Amino acid sequence: VPVVVLVSGTGSLLQAILDASQDPAYGVRVVAVGADRAGTLGVERAEAAGIPTFVCQVADHATREEWDAALAEAVTAYEPQLVVSAGFLKLVGPAFLARFGGRYLNSHNALLPSFPGIHGPADALAYGVKVAGATLFVVDEGVDTGAIVAQVAVPVLDDDTVETLTERIKAAERPQLVEMLGRMAREGYAVEGRRVTIGTWRS
Ligand code: GRF
C-alpha cells in the first residue's frame, strides 16, 4: 500500500516505518515524505533511504488555505492510499481532508482525549497523571479529536522530566504505529462514527 509520511521534526517515527517497510511483507511502501519546514532530520532520513521528499511551508503561501490546498496537491501527486502524520506539527485544513479524510492517520504523544496539542508529555507531567502514552487516530477537522485506532500506556515515574517521559512515550509509540499501520494497510479498516475496525475493507 503506498503511503506518504508527513514530518516536522527528527523523524524517529518515520525511521521506524522505513525500517519496517524494508520487508515487502509489511505491506507499506513509503512513496514520499513531506515536511512543513526546511532542513528537518525527517527529510534527511528519507533522502538517505532514497525516498522522494517535498517541503510545503505555510510562509511560502499567501494564506493558510492556499498552503492547505498546496499540501493536498503535493501529497496527491504520489497517489497514496494512506497518509501518516509522524510528528507533523501542522493542522491540515478542509482541502486536505476533502482528499484524505478517513485515510490520514496521526500518532499523538498522549492518551487522548487528555492532553491534545503539541505539549502532550509536558502537560501530562504538569497535571500529575501516573499513566501517559500515545494514541493513533484517524484525523478529523479538530485538534487531536479523531476516531481512535489504538492506544499504548507507559508509567509516569516520580523522577521523570519532560525529556525522559517524552522518550518513554516515543519508545512505545513507534512500535504501536508500525504495527497498526501495517495491519491497516494489509487488512484494511472501516471508520464508523468514532469506531475504527481493522480487518474490514473500507467501502
Ligand atoms: C511523536 O512523539 C509525536 O507524537 C509528536 O512528536 C513526536 C515525533 O517525533 N507529535 P519524531 O519527529 O518522529 O522523532
Is 108 among the catalytic positions?
A: yes
From the CB of 33, is ligand 1 less than 6 Å away? no
Report which ligand 1 atom has the smallest distance to the Cα of 166.
2
Contact residues for 159 (Cβ-Cβ < 8 A; gap 6+): none
18 within 8 A of 97, measured Cβ to Cβ:
no
**Residue 201 clears pLDDT 70, i.e. is over it:** no
What's the confidence (pLDDT) of residue 200? 77
> Of 108, 168, 170, 174, which residue is the catalytic one?
108
Q: What is the pLDDT of residues 45-59, one digit of tens each?
A: 999 999 999 999 999
What is the domain partition of the chain in residue ranges? 1-100, 109-135+153-203
**Residue 17 clears pLDDT 70, i.e. is over it:** yes
Which of 43, 170, 178, 181 is the pocket-test mutation for ligand 1 (most atoms within 8 Å of CB)? 170
Q: What is the pLDDT of residues 154-191, one digit of tens each?
A: 999 999 999 999 999 999 999 999 999 999 999 999 99
Q: Give the pLDDT mean for 77-101.
A: 97
Task: List the residue whose alpha carbon is closest to atom 2 of ligand 1.
Answer: 109
CATH number of 109-135+153-203: 3.40.50.170
Q: How many angstroms does the Cα of residue 12 sit away from the middle of ligand 1?
A: 7
Grid cell in block for residue 56: 510545503
1-100: which CATH topology? Rossmann fold (3.40.50)
Q: Do domains 1-100 and 109-135+153-203 have the same CATH topology?
A: yes
Could you tell me the pLDDT band of residue 151, with boundaries at 50, 70 and 90?
Answer: very high
Q: What is the pLDDT of residues 104-132, one digit of tens each?
A: 999 999 999 999 999 999 999 999 999 99
